[in-house]
Every structure is written in structure tokens, then in C-alpha cells.
């Protein structure tokens, strides 16, 4: 079973998403953030279930899609690092370059 670790960047992204949604509804924001967290929990048992990030083409850089968000993670042995979360409308080229 793999262990999930959230990077500072991913936690910052998650907080920003929650803050943005909370402008309209704090309750919905908390629910949405919890659902993002839950969407990656399956990786503990199925770490390869996310697709390879097309912009990266590296087997170890993968993503889980949750609604309009891409949750990018890296897989190193039995440790999953959640690297970043961003809206799918954004280009991932620069974000992925920073990861590589």
C-alpha cells in the first residue's frame, strides 16, 4: 500500500481553490476540497490508476482528474507525492517543466 504525501505547492493550490469557492459558499468550498482529497485516496491502493501526464510523457508523473481540476502526482517506490492541482483550462507545459 502506497503512502500519499502532499507537497507545499499542492496544499497551497488546494487552499487557493477552497478560498476561491468560499467567496460564494464556505460550506460548498469545504465539501469540494474534501472531495478533491478523497479523489486521490484511491492511489494508496492503486498508485498507477492515474493517467500519465501527456505533457510530461514520464511514467512516474501522473494525474487524477477531478471535475475541472488536474491533480498531478509523482510516484517513487511506494510513496506518492501530490505535486500540484490546477484548473484543466490552464496549460500544463510550464507547470510540468517546473516538476521535471
Domains in the chain, please, with CATH? 3-99 (3.30.2310.20)
pLDDT of residue 54: 86
Determine the average pLDDT of the residues in 15-29. 96
Determine the average pLDDT of the residues in 1-25. 96
Spatial separation of the C-alpha atoms in residues 18 and 26, rounded to whole Å? 8
- pLDDT tens, residue by residue, 48-58: 999 999 888 88
Spatial separation of the C-alpha atoms in residues 64 and 62, rounded to whole Å? 7
Spatial separation of the C-alpha atoms in residues 76 and 91, rounded to whole Å? 25
Spatial separation of the C-alpha atoms in residues 3 and 69, rounded to whole Å? 22
What's the pTM? 0.86
Higher pLDDT, 7 or 56: 7
Amino acid at each position: 500500500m502506497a503512502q500519499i504525501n502532499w507537497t507545499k505547492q499542492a496544499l497551497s493550490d488546494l487552499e487557493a481553490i477552497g478560498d476561491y469557492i468560499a467567496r460564494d459558499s464556505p460550506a460548498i468550498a469545504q465539501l469540494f476540497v474534501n472531495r478533491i482529497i478523497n479523489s486521490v485516496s484511491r492511489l494508496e491502493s492503486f498508485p498507477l490508476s492515474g493517467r500519465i501526464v501527456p505533457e510530461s510523457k514520464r511514467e512516474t508523473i501522473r494525474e487524477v482528474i477531478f471535475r475541472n481540476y488536474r491533480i498531478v502526482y509523482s510516484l517513487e517506490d511506494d510513496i506518492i507525492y501530490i505535486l500540484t492541482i490546477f484548473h484543466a483550462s490552464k496549460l500544463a507545459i510550464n507547470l510540468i517543466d517546473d516538476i521535471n
